Amino acid sequence: MKFYSKAHKHYCGVDLHTRSMYLCVQDYAGKKLLHHNYPADPQRFLQAIRPFREDLVVGCECMFSWYWLADLCLQEQIHFVLGHALYMKAIHGGKSKSDKIDSDKITTLLRGGTFPVAYVYPRGMRETRDLLRRRMHLVHIRAGTLAHIQNTNSQYNLPPFSKRICHARNRADVAERFTDQSVRKNIELDLDLIDHYDQLITQLELYLVEHAKVDDAFSFHLLRSVPGIGKVLALVLLYEIHTIDRFASAGDFLSYARLISTRGESAGKLQGVMGRKIGNAHLKWAFAEAACLMIRELDQAKRFVQRLEAKHGKPHALAVLRARIGRAVYYILKRKEPFDLKRFFGETQSSKAATAASPSITGSSPLVAGDAAEALALGR
């Protein structure tokens, strides 16, 4: 958790909603200079803060409509801070709650140096990232439609499909196996939807690849040098990471990607594993897919997972491989170097002894950070 601790002359907390925003402006001493509700309009916002523009910082909680406010502050050269919604406990933990109270709490946190910050993804690549996430939504709908065909086939106790129906060439005679006219119509509807989604997803992927080559072609090709990371996974990593410079260390990046977990401790007693759902879920999914594909492509990865699986079980073995891939991606983007297979598995072979001795995840060297990630993934 990181806090915004810079001192300013004026602090503006915004309780932002879709159609309204409650503003609270305080000076450095905590005196309220403005506390009023306004429509969520750029001109009304600029008009309200005009008397306090000198050394002003604006903060709001991270919710779905913050884009326009961040872009407006950037355009007007106003300091803007985005609050991490999960960490802003003071807003949601009070006895009473209203827009007026929330805006005052946001401003107080901002002025007191306890405002938890989230990353403000800048305009430009942000729109393409949202489109990429929309592609994932379409893929999920397509997968659900395929599952409906499989479930219907099981409902009527028909023989399993001899080939994978996710491929268009294997769906030619799927509807004909159902004798009832209504059931067949249901399956034909599913098949038409799948064909339509295939066309949409293919066109969307072509569009995204072209944009990736414009936004950051070099990083896109560097990511594709990792075994198991293809076109789609490289797109997800590129646009979800944005810039690797936002992470001070490999440990910070692994934590953000949900590749390692932390343990809660109080009075010398362990309270269990914490923070499993804090971070970027899209990156976690991408590295999980990359680990499975790497095992499929490389015998070295398969043998590595088998060794760990015999000792710690398959989930822990895959967790270690995911963390190592994440660490490799961090240094690939940091050093602008392609994936080195010998170095990757060379560190894997030599890290067993150092794993138990290094519980920190903030080491500066690749080996230290990887050993710590492996230790935490194994729950040591």
Whether 79 and 8 have beta carbons less than 8 Å apart is answered as: yes
Cα distances from 329 to residues 151, 195, 223, 287, 350, in angstroms, run: 39, 34, 7, 10, 19
Interatomic CA distance for residues 343 and 205, integer angstroms: 32
Count of C-beta atoms within a 10 Å radius of residue 144? 11
Say how far residue 57 (Cα) sits from the centre of its chain.
Answer: 27
Q: Give the pLDDT confidence score for residue 363 in this predicted structure.
A: 36
Whether 251 and 372 have beta carbons less than 8 Å apart is answered as: yes
Whether 15 and 21 have beta carbons less than 8 Å apart is answered as: yes
Q: Give the bridge partners for 80, in sequence order.
A: 58
Q: For residue range 237-272, what is the model confidence (pLDDT) as tens digits?
A: 999 999 999 999 999 999 999 998 777 777 778 777
> pTM to 2 decimals?
0.84
SS3 61: strand
For the cut 70, the answer to whether the pLDDT of residue 86 exceeds it is: yes
Q: Which are the contacts of 188, defined by CB distance < 8 A and separation ≥ 6? A: 175
Confidence of residue 347 (pLDDT cuts 50, 70, 90): low
Q: For residue range 177-190, what is the model confidence (pLDDT) as tens digits?
A: 999 999 999 999 99
Interatomic CA distance for residues 85 and 80, integer angstroms: 16
Paired tokens of 298: 């490389």
